[in-house]
Amino acid sequence: MIALIQRVSQARVEVAGETVGAIPRGLLVLLGVERDDDEASLRRLADKVMKYRVFSDEADKMNLNVQQAGGQLLVVSQFTLAADTNKGLRPSFSSAAHPTEAERLYEAFVAYCRAQGMTVETGAFGADMQVSLTNDGPVTFSLRT
């Protein structure tokens, strides 16, 4: 499982011109699910996302996690993160999870974060989404299990 996280001062997702999810300050989480991912891997990654210290403290050092900074999560499914780009000029998606399983694990990731007390907004799984954000920093990290 892969999460590309971006510290944002705002982010939103639109589908067909309608906003389906939006947050003020927090993390935009682009989530890719791979074939061998399971509940244990989603919990490990979700915990890492929520605890990863990417927000500045009073000394301007990245010592605060999203919860400590009073931020929210916007979790958007992005199967292209699971692409194999090692050969040629066209990505292979053979390592991506089947859409049914990917959606189940995506929804479980969101539910787990909410159960930990996070405010979580989402995109629409499998939809053609338009994601807009203001990357604060810019700060972007790739996390995986």
141 among known catalytic residues: no
Q: List, for residues 25-50, the tens digit of each pLDDT value.
A: 999 999 999 999 999 999 999 999 99
Instruction: Indicate which residue of 80, 85, 93, 134 is catalytic.
Output: 80
pLDDT digits (tens, 9 = 90+) for 119-137: 999 999 999 999 999 999 9
Q: Of 6, 55, 72, 78, which residue is the catalytic one?
A: 78
Q: Model confidence at 83, in pLDDT bands (50, 70, 90)?
A: very high
Percent of the chain at pLDDT above 90?
A: 100
Question: Does an H or E element contain 9, and which?
Answer: strand 2-15
- pLDDT by residue (tens digit) across 48-73? 999 999 999 999 999 999 999 999 99
Of the candidates 55, 72, 79, 122, the residue annotated as catalytic is 79
Measure the CA–CA gap between 134 and 4, rounded to whole angstroms. Answer: 15
3-state secondary structure of 144: strand
Residues 6+ apart with CB under 8 A from 66: 26, 27, 49, 50, 52, 54, 55, 72, 73, 118
**In sequence order, what are the residues at sequence separation of 6 or more whose Cβ sits closer than 8 angstroms to the Cβ of residue 6?**
27, 28, 30, 133, 135, 138, 139, 140
Active site residue 80: yes
Domain residue spans in the chain? 2-144
Statement: the pTM of the whole predicted model exceeds 0.85: yes
Is 119 an annotated catalytic residue?
Answer: no
CA nearest 26: which of 121, 131, 143?
Answer: 121
**Cα 64 to Cα 131: distance, rounded to the nearest angstrom:** 25
Bridge partners (DSSP) of residue 13 are 21, 131
CATH 3.50.80.10 for domain 2-144, yes or no, is yes
Please report how many Cα atoms fall inside a 13 Å half-sphere around the Cα of residue 76, on the Cβ side: 29
